[in-house]
């Protein structure tokens, strides 16, 4: 008899569980649009050429060891990550008022940031958009933050509920933490326009609220790293403080390497130093220090002009393929005469389309067509290819009629 026998059976993760179900499906026509990982037009995972080159160099270099990194991670990686997110000549970077520590991809960086906020911030309440990436609702309570929500997505327009968002931020307490997706909002693919961002920023600053940015898709939305960082950089430029969790999972295709960073933009360089000291106290008992390999890959790519240039081209290639899939899917639905307005497929940004398909329709498509997506009707455009568009259109058409 085990001491664990009285445990209840744990449910499958809402997102990763889709892949578990997909893997069990023996039908060869099956299509996985659940998980947010890039696939080529041949449906294959992709290791970027620049990553292969960086890795080859790292392996060949006999002067490299596998020693522990410092608690805060690889110094060159942290510096370059900060510059990638904010821009090397950004006033907050130049003023040295940002501290950046390496984290375990986006999730780990969010968790360390949340833990720090839970311990040291005066108002441990965080507002997240409805809907948001499901893990946000699990990460923040673990760090002692109370999770509340603000309106974000409008099902009627399949766009942004800007009025609702502003009303809810206004009604939220002064000083509350506000979680914002930097770009390519997951799961909706709906982002505020630059002028809407400006209004959001002014409101958040007027209320003394604390912006906590999640950047999982820089460069993946538009194909341009700088354009995708607009919201983040404007908040950092107004002199106010903020947190940023960065992930290299999607934009450098380093999913399993778990490479990311947490940056705390502070009002002064002195505050940034104090914050870094406390972040070390969060990290040390959690996992001691971060892994070396992925950070070394990123630092190699970002520090060499040729590799950086080639990375941007590969990144643009991935973003473009996703955008092309939006057009192929939209055109095919139109041609088929599938009932409904599908223009949101073209308007939404980034890896996902929030289709508006209902749970029963999602279940129907899984049962009859072996098409897998999350229960909220989110499909990964990166999981779609020229060859699989017709099958998806058949499934959607049958589901909505
Ligand atoms: N935030 C958002 C919004 C995401 O979509 C993801 C990836 N699905 C993450 C954070 C973190 O991912 P990872 O831990 O793999 O970097």
Nearest to 74 by CA among 109, 101, 107, 52: 101
Nearest to 293 by CA among 56, 6, 31, 43: 56
**Whether complex ipTM tops 0.95:** yes
Please determine, for residue 16, whether its predicted confidence score (pLDDT) is greater than 90: no
Please determine, for residue 206, whether its predicted confidence score (pLDDT) is greater than 90: yes
Count of all residues that appear for the chain in the document: 401
Confidence (pLDDT) at 252: 98
Confidence (pLDDT) at 157: 92
User: What 3-state class would DSSP assign to 391?
Assistant: helix
Q: How far is CA 274 from the centre of its chain?
A: 28
Confidence (pLDDT) at 21: 92
Share of the chain above pLDDT 90, in %: 97
CA-248 nearest atom, ligand 1: 16
Cβ-based neighbour number of residue 53 at 10 Å: 18
Confidence (pLDDT) at 12: 86
CA-36 nearest atom, ligand 1: 8
Q: Is the CB of residue 58 less than 8 Å from the CB of residue 300?
A: yes
Q: Is 4 a catalytic residue?
A: no
Q: Is the CB of residue 210 less than 8 Å from the CB of residue 235?
A: no
CA-214 nearest atom, ligand 1: 1
Q: What average pLDDT does range 350-375 have in this prediction?
A: 95
Rounded to an integer, what distance in angstroms lies between the CA atom of residue 244 and that of residue 239? 15
Nearest to 117 by CA among 148, 142, 150: 142
Confidence of residue 51 (pLDDT cuts 50, 70, 90): very high
Please determine, for residue 23, whether its predicted confidence score (pLDDT) is greater than 90: yes
| Residue 68 CB contacts under 8 Å (≥ 6 apart), including other chains | 288, 289
Secondary structure E strands in 8-97:
31-32
Q: What are phi and psi of 334, to 5 degrees?
A: -65, -45
Confidence of residue 158 (pLDDT cuts 50, 70, 90): very high
Q: Atom 16, ligand 1: which residue's CA is nearest?
A: 106
Catalytic member of 82, 168, 228, 250: 250
Confidence (pLDDT) at 43: 92
| 145-149, 236-240, 306-310: segment of lowest average pLDDT | 236-240
Q: Which of 135, 140, 257, 351 to mutate to test the pocket of ligand 1 (most atoms within 8 A of CB)?
A: 135
Tell me the CA–centroid distance for residue 156 and ligand 1, in Å. Answer: 27
Q: What average pLDDT does range 3-27 have in this prediction?
A: 92
Catalytic member of 168, 191, 214, 228: 214
Cβ-based neighbour number of residue 144 at 10 Å: 12
Identify whether 131 is preceded by a cis peptide bond (ω within 30 of 0). Answer: yes
Please determine, for residue 17, whether its predicted confidence score (pLDDT) is greater than 90: no
Q: Is 146 a catalytic residue?
A: no
User: What 3-state class would DSSP assign to 236?
Assistant: helix
Confidence (pLDDT) at 203: 98
161-198 pLDDT tens trace: 999 999 999 999 999 999 999 999 999 999 999 999 99
Nearest to 374 by CA among 8, 20, 9, 45: 20
268-279 pLDDT tens trace: 999 999 999 999
| Residue 108 CB contacts under 8 Å (≥ 6 apart), including other chains | 258, 260, 287, 290
What is the average pLDDT value for the chain, to the nearest integer? 96
Strands 242-247 and 259-265: antiparallel
Confidence (pLDDT) at 15: 84
| Residue 202 CB contacts under 8 Å (≥ 6 apart), including other chains | none
Tell me the CA–centroid distance for residue 330 and ligand 1, in Å. Answer: 26
121-131 pLDDT tens trace: 999 999 999 99
| Residue 197 CB contacts under 8 Å (≥ 6 apart), including other chains | 230, 231, 234
Rounded to an integer, what distance in angstroms lies between the CA atom of residue 167 and that of residue 163? 6
Tell me the CA–centroid distance for residue 202 and ligand 1, in Å. Answer: 27
Instruction: Name the DSSP class of 309.
Output: H
Q: Atom 12, ligand 1: which residue's CA is nearest?
A: 106
Q: Is 214 a catalytic residue?
A: yes
Q: What residues are in contact with ligand 1 under a 6 Å CB criterion?
A: 36, 105-107, 133, 181, 186, 214, 216, 247, 249, 255, 260
Q: Atom 8, ligand 1: which residue's CA is nearest?
A: 36
Share of the chain above pLDDT 70, in %: 100
Angle in degrees, CA 349, 316, 48, rounded to 5: 115
Confidence of residue 36 (pLDDT cuts 50, 70, 90): confident
Rounded to an integer, what distance in angstroms lies between the CA atom of residue 232 and that of residue 138? 24
85-121 pLDDT tens trace: 999 999 999 999 999 999 999 999 999 999 999 999 9
Question: pTM of the entire structure?
Answer: 0.96
């Amino acid at each position: 008899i085990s001491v664990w026998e009285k445990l209840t059976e744990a449910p499958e993760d809402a997102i990763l569980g889709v892949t578990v179900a997909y893997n069990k499906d023996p039908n060869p026509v099956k299509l996985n649009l659940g998980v947010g990982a890039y696939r080529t037009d041949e449906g294959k995972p992709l290791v970027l050429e620049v990553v292969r080159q960086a890795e080859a160099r790292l392996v060949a270099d006999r002067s490299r060891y596998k020693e522990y990194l410092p608690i805060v991670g690889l110094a060159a990686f942290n510096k370059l990550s900060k510059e990638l997110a904010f821009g090397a000549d950004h006033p907050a970077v130049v003023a040295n008022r940002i501290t950046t520590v390496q984290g375990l991809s986006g999730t780990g960086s969010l968790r360390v940031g949340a833990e720090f906020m839970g311990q040291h911030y005066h108002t441990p309440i965080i507002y997240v958009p409805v809907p948001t990436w499901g893990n946000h609702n699990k990460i923040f309570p673990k760090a002692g933050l109370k999770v509340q929500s603000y309106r974000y997505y409008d099902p009627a327009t399949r766009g942004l509920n800007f009025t609702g968002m502003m009303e809810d931020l206004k009604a939220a307490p002064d000083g509350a933490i506000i979680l914002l997706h930097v770009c390519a909002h997951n799961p909706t693919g709906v982002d505020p326009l630059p002028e809407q961002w400006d209004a959001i920023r002014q409101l958040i600053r007027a209320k003394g609220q604390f912006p906590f940015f999640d950047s999982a898709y820089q460069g993946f939305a538009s194909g341009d790293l700088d354009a995708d960082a607009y919201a983040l950089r404007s908040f950092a430029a107004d002199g106010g403080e903020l947190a940023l969790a960065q992930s290299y999972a999607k934009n450098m295709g380093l999913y399993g390497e778990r490479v990311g960073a947490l940056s705390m933009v502070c009002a002064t360089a002195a505050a940034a130093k104090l914050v870094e000291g406390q972040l070390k106290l969060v990290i040390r008992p959690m996992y001691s220090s971060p892994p070396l390999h992925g950070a070394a890959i990123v630092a190699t790519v970002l520090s060499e002009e040729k590799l950086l240039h080639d990375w941007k081209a590969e990144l643009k290639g991935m973003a473009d393929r996703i955008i092309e899939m939006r057009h192929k899917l939209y055109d095919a639905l139109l041609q088929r005469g599938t009932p409904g307005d599908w223009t949101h497929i073209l308007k939404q940004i980034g890896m996902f389309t929030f289709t508006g398909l209902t749970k029963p329709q999602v279940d129907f498509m899984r049962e009859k067509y072996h098409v897998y997506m999350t229960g909220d009707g989110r499909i990964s455009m990166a999981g779609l290819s020229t060859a699989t568009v017709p099958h998806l259109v058949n499934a959607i058409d049958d589901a909505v009629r």
